[in-house]
Amino acid sequence: MSRHQQVGAGPIDVPDLEAGPVLLRKHRPDDIDDMVLACRDEQTWTWTTVPQPYEREHAEAYVARTVGTPVDGETRWAIEVDGRFSGNIGAMLDGEGRADVGYFVSPWARGHGVGSVALWLVCDWAFREGGCVVVTWNALVGNTPSRRMVEKVGFRVHRDVSRRYVVQRGERVDVWTADLLPEDLVLLGTLLP
Ligand SMILES: CC(C)(COP(=O)(O)OP(=O)(O)OC[C@H]1O[C@@H](n2cnc3c(N)ncnc32)[C@H](O)[C@@H]1OP(=O)(O)O)[C@@H](O)C(=O)NCCC(=O)NCCS
């Protein structure tokens, strides 16, 4: 799809993206069991905005809304590793050249570079296909694994904390922020096992 078509507000499809052991694909109903497990993990709900407590209906509603189409401007992928659902990653395109990313990796897939490869794929897609000139990120202050992950991909983390920047379950909280320009994106080979 051309840059011209994507910069506007029109719908875009969710393409398969793949590198090494990581496949990004549309969500499927058979992801629901593993999504429930992942979203009940303490690290997931501590550092994201998933509902807490996380019920099966939350995953069912998420997948039903998400399957294959961008939701409210966000293009969402399931992360698959070795045939198993292993996380979510999404890019919110503002239609004016910026994408904001969010993700989790399921506990069973963490610590093997899955998140950084998935993030690289989405950033590369945003630059090549999404008409973006910058990708932005934020994480609750203290989320060191996520910060380390974006730094590996090439993001520059800003020195100052952005105070009360996001809402997590009704409370405004401080975040780290970062940005990535196309020339900052590391070579994919540096992230692959
Ligand atoms: C953050 C998250 C996505 C990382 O996924 P992952 O697949 O493990 O990521 P990667 O393996 O590519 O990179 C993680 C890096 O953090 C490092 N790390 C992990 N725990 C760490 C800690 N406590 N302190 C410092 N670094 C840590 C890892 O060693 C790795 O760096 P390395 O490759 O240099 O060793 C995953 O931990 C997660 O889903 N957490 C809960 C949800 C969440 O935080 N989502 C992001 C919200 S902004």
76 located within any domain: yes
Look at residue 34 in the predicted model and tell me its pLDDT.
Answer: 98
Task: Return the percent helix, strand and coil in the chain, to nearest 5.
Answer: 35, 30, 35
Planar angle of CA 57, 61, 67, nearest 5 degrees:
140
Question: Which residue do the tokens 């973006």 mark?
Answer: 132
Look at residue 70 in the predicted model and tell me its pLDDT.
Answer: 74
Look at residue 10 in the predicted model and tell me its pLDDT.
Answer: 43
Query: Mean of the pLDDT values across residues 28-55?
Result: 97
Question: pLDDT confidence of 12, banded at 50, 70, 90?
Answer: low
Residue nearest to ligand 1 atom 27, measured at CA: 145
77 located within any domain: yes
Peptide bond before 193: cis, by omega within 30 degrees of 0?
A: no
170 located within any domain: no
Atom of ligand 1 nearest to the CA of 145: 16
62 located within any domain: yes
190 located within any domain: no
**Domains identified in the chain, total number:** 1
Distances (CA, A) of 58 to 40, 64, 77, 80, 174: 11, 10, 17, 20, 26
Question: Which residue do the tokens 């809304």 mark?
Answer: 65
188 located within any domain: no
Q: How far is the CA of 32 from the centre of ligand 1 (A)?
A: 23
CA distance 139 to 113: 18
16-30 pLDDT, tens per residue?
999 999 999 999 999
Q: Is 87 left (phi over 0), alpha (psi -120 to 50) or beta?
A: left
147 located within any domain: no
Ligand 1: residues within 6 Å at CB?
43-44, 47-48, 103-105, 110-116, 139, 143-146, 148-149, 152
CA distance 190 to 187: 6
95-131 pLDDT, tens per residue?
999 999 999 999 999 999 999 999 999 999 999 999 9
CA distance 142 to 111: 17
Atom of ligand 1 nearest to the CA of 139: 48
Note the Cα 122 to chain centre separation in Å.
Answer: 8
Choosing from 44, 110, 174 the residue with most ligand 1 atoms within 8 A of its CB, the one to mutate for a pocket test is: 110
Q: Domain holding 13: CATH number?
A: 3.40.630.30
**Token output for 151:** 């730094």
Expressed as residue numbers, the domain containing 21 is 3-136
